[in-house]
Amino acid sequence: MTRTQLTLIACLAVAGLLWWTHDDGVHADRERAREAFLPALAEEVNDAAEITVTGPNDAVELQRVDGVWRVASKSGYPARFEPVRDLLIDLARLSDAEPRTARPDRHGDLQVAAEGEGTGTRVEVRSDGGDVLADVWVGKSQWSPSEAVYLRREGEDQVWLCGGSLRPQAGARTWLDMQLVALPAAKVQRVVISGDLELVLERDADGDPRPVGGVPEGRELEPADPFTPLFGQAARINFDDVTRADGEHTVGEPLRRVRFEAGDGGAVVLELWRGGDGGGPWARLHAEASEAPPAPVGPQPESDGGAATTELVVTAAQAESWNEAWEPWAFQLPAWKAEALLATWEDWLAEPAAADEVESDGATDNS
């Protein structure tokens, strides 16, 4: 294998785009690139450093910074690599272009118009040096007899039908991993709330969450087990929006801290600020590693004589990785999570009995 071939394979592998190289050599690869609908991108796909996807109602800009793809419109939060890779591969693989209409009045019908009804999705790809590798309007897809998509290069009237699959998304959510952590609810043994409310909740012998110290005098819980939804919040902590931690949403002391503790000491801590405009609370997160295997709860199966092993809920490596990923950021949680995370005693307790009802009960007892 030649030095050129080895270099090409290495570059593709590093970028996660090892799809173009085959046994017939680099010359054939370059021939394929010239036959591609977007030859500059096909030949220099590993040089892609900026992607802009603009739809009729939304737009997203992705930038590769120090080898990591980031969502520019979300303060540079890391993007999921898979959709970036798939988009670049799908664009570079577009081929077998067949000319269709060149009439601008037909662009809307094929959803490749630049504006108005039938506006397409524009995809721009640039290199680190600013060279345009692709600038194309993506329109309708065709599924039979084979997958194909209508395309129009920016600045041209000619529409092409190209073999391939391409469904670029302009919404930022497509490019973000919205889940932050998943701590199984059954592993959460204790929840500690501080700030606007001071409360410790622990699981009892039956595994049900109960307030340490009981409920306020003269009050009853309603429903009988109102804390289970709170314990379940750690099972899926995801976000709707993200920004830098030093932004306006997390100024000053947090309204509340909620600490989810596992039986082995591992913990995930949420610091919460109220969100505005009806949005969910803003949060900063921190993880603490487990200290020891959790003590077994409930009946245990008989030992087969082998060494007992218990997996830590939050390993030291996992806590370090989470904290490194979370520390620079503030996350807006879904609005519905506020119902559990910011609940108060008034949300968990039955309405107090009216004074006349209490007096009536007393009179009945004395008769």
Q: What is the pLDDT of residues 250-293, one digit of tens each?
A: 999 999 999 999 999 999 999 999 998 788 999 999 999 998 66
> pLDDT at position 11, please?
47
Q: What is the DSSP string of 37-51?
A: SSHHHHHSGGGEEEE
Give CA–CA dist 9/36, Å, rounded. Answer: 19
- At 259 the pLDDT is 98
Write the DSSP symbol of residue 205. T
What is the share, in percent, of the chain residues with pLDDT greater than 90? 71
Among 59, 66, 69, 54, which residue's Cα sits nearest to residue 17? 69
Cβ(269)–Cβ(365) under 8 Å? no
- State residue 228 phi and psi, 5-degree precision: -60, -40
Angle between helices 3-15 and 26-35 (to 10 degrees): 60
Cβ atoms of 124 and 130 within 8 Å: the answer is: no
pLDDT at 356 over 80: no
Residue 20 phi/psi, 5-degree rounding, is -90, -25
pTM for the structure as a whole: 0.80
**pLDDT at residue 67 greater than cutoff 60:** yes
Quickly state the pLDDT bin for 41 (edges 50, 70, 90).
Answer: very high
Distance between alpha carbon 228 and the CA centroid of its chain, in Å? Answer: 25
243-256 mean pLDDT: 95
Element (H, E) at 77: strand 77-78
125: pLDDT strictly greater than 90:
yes
Tens digit of each residue's pLDDT (9 = 90 or more) over 168-192 = 999 999 999 999 999 888 999 999 9
Q: Is the model more confident about 363 or about 152?
A: 152
User: Where do the structural domains in the chain lie, given as residue ranges?
Assistant: 3-175, 179-296+309-348
Q: How confident is the model at residue 51, as a pLDDT?
A: 98
CA distance 106 to 159: 9
In angstroms, rounded to a whole number, what is the distance separating the alpha carbons of residues 349 and 367? 31
Cα–Cα distance, 174 to 244 (Å, whole number): 20
Task: Report pLDDT for 20.
Answer: 44
What's the rounded Cα separation, in Å, for the pair 111 and 150? Answer: 8
Residue 241 forms beta bridges with which residues? 332
Report the pLDDT averaged over residues 283-310. Answer: 66
Give the residue from 292, 284, 280, 288 showing the smallest Cα distance to 260. 288
pLDDT score of 305 more than 50:
no
